[in-house]
Structure 1
Amino acid sequence: MARLNNETIDDYTNHLIELLKKNANLQFREEFLQLHPTDQAEIYAKLVKEQRQNLYEMINPEEMADIFQALELQEQKELILELDQHYTSEMINHLYTDDAADLLSQLDESAAHALLKAMDLEDANDVKELMAYPPKTAGAIMTKEFISLASSHSAQQVIEQLREEAPNAETIYYLYVVNEQDQLVGVVSLRDLLTAQSNELVQNLMSSRVVSVDSDTNQEEVAKMIKKYNFLAAPVVSSDGTLLGIVTVDDVIDVLEDEATEDLGEFTAARGATDINVSAFQSAKLRSPWIVLLMFFGLLTAGVIEQFEETLNQIILLAAFIPLLMGSAGNAGTQSLAVVVRGLALGTLEKKGLFRILLKEFSTGMMIGFICAMTLLLIIPIFYGSYMVAVIVGMSIFCSLSVATIVGATVPLIIHKLKIDPAFASGPFITTVNDILGLLIYFTIATSLLHYL
């Protein structure tokens, strides 16, 4: 199957559009279907509505299903409105059930119900089953297109079964063995099957130590498990061990992308507003609560400065270093936050030990603080002519960065213990807390050494 590189995709798109304009439909269809589905989807999305209408006449619903699966969910939601109901229902019949469930869940209830009613009964029931699971669980992201075997079958019988069922399966690298009650009892790899003697029974080839997940397992835990074992797919079972479906590695990649996007939103206090398709009003609605909350925290910063107004009045020069201290402490805290949140997300923190992580971050903060303090002890006397101010600022930044790293590391750990997503300890929140602590440290040191100035 042909695959275009980044340099040729635009040129080839223009070439295919020219074929459409010339009504060279047969040539267009032949060249278009030779492309990788990802390239087909990219070209399809670039066509104007009239050109896409021409394409629907040349591409049957089954072929369109491959293209549609390569589109982003938002693009699917927008473009499906162009299709008539019969074409759409036929196309959805050929989508993998997890992809069909994702798409229908984005449509309004009446449109989704109409499409389900027009679909094949068996496919519609499978899609309804997936849509019934809670969002972001193994059941919600699994697919029903998998191959199950009986342990009494021979290798040759399984190969014959594969010839019939493999075209409709999402993956055949793992073949799952079930008993008469459809309970998962083993797994056979395609490699073991192909290298076995034709009369060898599945029960002799399978591994009975199957790693599986429950249908209500959080999707992030499923992704971690597949990553841990380097699986291409993982079986999903019910509470009684019945094999319900499989979660494939391509679904896991989507999950990891979604979770990373969500964590980024938490980190920047912009959860739900990182999507460029979100309107300005919706973005403001999602982001403003955090900004308003942090604004009130900022009033605490102003209160700290007010409490040390007398110190500032005596030595105005101290005010010049407030942004430096606040910025440095906030940045150091955010760095520690990133280290700890990533460790919690990957599960590596428990292996290292929480105390060792905190000690490491504190030591890191002290070393960075010492480097910054020594730098300021050299620079401030040269530019501001006061060695004592350099001592005050140097001591303050050393203490502030040491404390900031502990705050940045401790807050997400506490939140994690409370069973809340540690990414909720957002960067702006940590920065604001460290601003307040940094100012208290700065003015406390300055006030105590004021008589030396």
Structure 2
Amino acid sequence: MVKPVAIVRSMLDLLERKNLRGFLKLAEKAEPADLGDVLGSLDEETRLEVVEALPPNVSGPALVEMADEHQAEETLELLAERSPEAARNIVEELADDEAADLVGGLDPADQERLLASVEDREEIEELLRYDPETAGGLMTAAVVTVRASETAGDAIDSLRRQAEEIEDFAQVYVVDDGDHLLGVLPIKALVTSPAGRPVQDLMEDTEIRVSPETDQEEVARLMGRYNVPAVPVVDGAGKLLGQVTFDDVIDVVESEQTEDLLQFGGTSADEELSAPWSGAVRSRLPWLAINLCTAFLAGWVASLFKEEISRVLALIFWMPIIAGMGGNGGTQALAVTVRRVALGLIPEGHARRVILKEVIAGLVNGLIIGLIAICVAILLGHGAKLGIVVLLAMMGNLFVAGFAGGFIPILLGRLGVDPAVASSIFVTTFTDVCGFLLLFGLTRMIIGA
């Protein structure tokens, strides 16, 4: 078995040696994800030439699998300008949901030009009506259905006919004459039942169904919670519109995790890995500016205690330690709580318990770290009194870190704000300001003049 990395390197090596024939031969045997990595590694002109040379049933899935969606969309747009027929063939070879994902990033005018000559364009245009981050934007209209009035034998014959049109299917849905969803037909029950048994006796109720407007994260959460391979999408009247399959949800989970990670680090979720440095500056500068304002607040608090700092110069040593430990403790609590909020793991009425857990963990960690800090303070000759100040400041700041890291994301989630976006800024501000207030305030109280 050839490893994916080796295949990608082999294809890139063939392109570098201008061996297009060898590349095309290997590319047709490669998985779309591997070929997508190859396309993403090429410059714009070379990528366009390769896509033109590949058969549409190979290049289309590879474009869909590219890590950078903007690169894939730009390639299709350029190909549509250079060779409209080639672009049309690619779209026609794709499943309706994949075609909608690829075409959806184009401008409306470019979409209209590209879809003008596409066969079965109505299915793609129907999917394009929905927000791409909803169940309607994820679903495919290609579903396998049988009528409740049919027998098991009739249903099997129907599946054979539909299998010629639909490449893969995870669920068989039972509908009435008006295409209203009635239930799901288990394959095992179908093939092991007598041919004359009614489908209505074999089907199972499907309580798990979503509307086209359901957020994609909610769809992913439902599929993960109930371990189903697909979720049916129905309209307000219960009519079956399509289904969201597990492979689409895997992409959603990866995309959402990447988005949360970038936002958690104070970077825009829109920043692509292939974006130039100017794009990185535009996406990161606003968050850095906000962080600068909060840093000014922490600096202003420290300036209120100039006399204490001038009398006890050792405070300069302990300032970044107290602030840094508080920031790290807050980040730990924040990461756990944001994860809980994102997965819906905080039942109604359990928010206090979650916050209390983080507060207690912060106090205990602060006590242990503070005791170590006392020993260091004494060894450095800073004195026992300053060691006690550091102990109390450490405990207090990690208490604040635990409270802020638990409370703020829960509050933002209740307010409908993504906790991954803004939580870290607020938590860092809390721990910096409170850390300095505790360190200098306790110095004034315990050490005094």
TM-score scaled by length of structure 2: 0.91
SS in structure 1 of the partner of residue 347 of structure 2: helix
Of residues 321-330 and 46-55 in structure 1, the stretch that sits farther from structure 2 once superposed is: 46-55
CA contact 2:386–2:447 (8 Å) conserved in 1: no
Counterpart in the other structure of 1:319? 316
CA contact 1:294–1:429 (8 Å) conserved in 2: no
Quick check: 1:74 aligned with 2:73?
Answer: no
After superposition, where does 1:286-365 map in structure 2 within 5 Å? Answer: 286-350=283-347, 353-365=350-362
Task: Quote how far apart the aligned CAs of 1:19 are.
Answer: 11
Quick check: 1:62 aligned with 2:60?
Answer: no
CA gap of 1:179–1:284, structure 2 versus 1, over 3 A, is same
Counterpart in the other structure of 1:114? 113
SS in structure 2 of the partner of residue 136 of structure 1: coil
CA contact 1:233–1:248 (8 Å) conserved in 2: yes
Report the Cα distance in structure 2 between the residues aligned to 1:119 and 1:436, rounded to whole angstroms: 60
Report the Cα distance in structure 1 between the residues aligned to 2:50 and 2:415, rounded to whole angstroms: 56
Counterpart in the other structure of 2:141? 144
| Code of the aligned partner of 2:320 | P
After superposition, where does 1:381-392 map in structure 2 within 5 Å? Answer: 381-392=378-389
CA contact 1:176–1:186 (8 Å) conserved in 2: yes
CA contact 1:220–1:255 (8 Å) conserved in 2: yes
Task: Quote how far apart the aligned CAs of 1:283 are.
Answer: 2.2
Report the Cα distance in structure 1 between the residues aligned to 2:257 and 2:272, rounded to whole angstroms: 12
Counterpart in the other structure of 2:33? 38
Report the Cα distance in structure 2 between the residues aligned to 1:100 and 1:260, rounded to whole angstroms: 24
Counterpart in the other structure of 2:253? 256
Uncovered stretches (5+) of structure 1, i.e. residues with no partner: none
After superposition, where does 1:5-404 map in structure 2 within 5 Å? Answer: 5-6=3-4, 8-10=6-8, 12-13=10-11, 21=19, 29=25, 32-43=27-38, 53=49, 56=52, 59-72=54-67, 73-80=69-76, 81-82=78-79, 84-120=83-119, 123-169=120-166, 171-272=168-269, 274-350=271-347, 353-404=350-401
Report the Cα distance in structure 2 between the residues aligned to 1:133 and 1:89, rounded to whole angstroms: 22
CA gap of 1:191–1:116, structure 2 versus 1, over 3 A, is same
After superposition, where does 1:402-417 map in structure 2 within 5 Å? Answer: 402-417=399-414
| Code of the aligned partner of 1:109 | P
Report the Cα distance in structure 2 between the residues aligned to 1:435 and 1:46, rounded to whole angstroms: 42
Deviations 1:3-50 (A, max 9, x none): 63146315642686599838579xx54x54344333444456567856
Task: Quote how far apart the aligned CAs of 1:147 are.
Answer: 0.9
CA contact 2:88–2:114 (8 Å) conserved in 1: yes
Task: Quote how far apart the aligned CAs of 1:321 are.
Answer: 0.6
Of residues 291-300 and 361-370 in structure 1, the stretch that sits farther from structure 2 once superposed is: 291-300
SS in structure 1 of the partner of residue 223 of structure 2: helix
Report the Cα distance in structure 1 between the residues aligned to 2:277 and 2:259, rounded to whole angstroms: 19
CA contact 2:11–2:27 (8 Å) conserved in 1: no
SS in structure 2 of the partner of residue 449 of structure 1: helix
Of residues 418-427 and 76-85 in structure 1, the stretch that sits farther from structure 2 once superposed is: 76-85
CA gap of 1:300–1:230, structure 2 versus 1, over 3 A, is same
Task: Quote how far apart the aligned CAs of 1:422 are.
Answer: 1.6
CA gap of 1:90–1:338, structure 2 versus 1, over 3 A, is same
CA contact 2:48–2:75 (8 Å) conserved in 1: no
| Code of the aligned partner of 1:78 | E
Uncovered stretches (5+) of structure 2, i.e. residues with no partner: none
CA gap of 1:154–1:111, structure 2 versus 1, over 3 A, is same
Report the Cα distance in structure 2 between the residues aligned to 1:69 and 1:274, rounded to whole angstroms: 19
| Code of the aligned partner of 2:363 | M
SS in structure 2 of the partner of residue 432 of structure 1: helix
| Code of the aligned partner of 2:301 | V
CA gap of 1:342–1:21, structure 2 versus 1, over 3 A, is closer
CA contact 1:273–1:283 (8 Å) conserved in 2: no
Deviations 1:173-194 (A, max 9, x none): 2101111111111111223222
CA contact 2:330–2:431 (8 Å) conserved in 1: yes
Report the Cα distance in structure 1 between the residues aligned to 2:238 and 2:107, rounded to whole angstroms: 34
Task: Quote how far apart the aligned CAs of 1:221 are.
Answer: 0.5
SS in structure 2 of the partner of residue 296 of structure 1: helix
Deviations 1:304-360 (A, max 9, x none): 112111112221222221000010111111111111110111111217811211111
Report the Cα distance in structure 2 between the residues aligned to 1:313 and 1:222, rounded to whole angstroms: 58
| Code of the aligned partner of 1:245 | G
CA contact 2:8–2:35 (8 Å) conserved in 1: no
CA contact 1:411–1:425 (8 Å) conserved in 2: no
TM-score scaled by length of structure 1: 0.90
Deviations 1:51-107 (A, max 9, x none): 9747745x5433443444333433422332236211221221221111111111112
CA gap of 1:225–1:11, structure 2 versus 1, over 3 A, is closer
Task: Quote how far apart the aligned CAs of 1:239 are.
Answer: 0.7
CA gap of 1:377–1:62, structure 2 versus 1, over 3 A, is closer
Report percent identity of matched pairs. 29
Report the Cα distance in structure 2 between the residues aligned to 1:112 and 1:440, rounded to whole angstroms: 58
Deviations 1:97-134 (A, max 9, x none): 111111111122222111111101xx211111111112
CA contact 1:4–1:35 (8 Å) conserved in 2: no
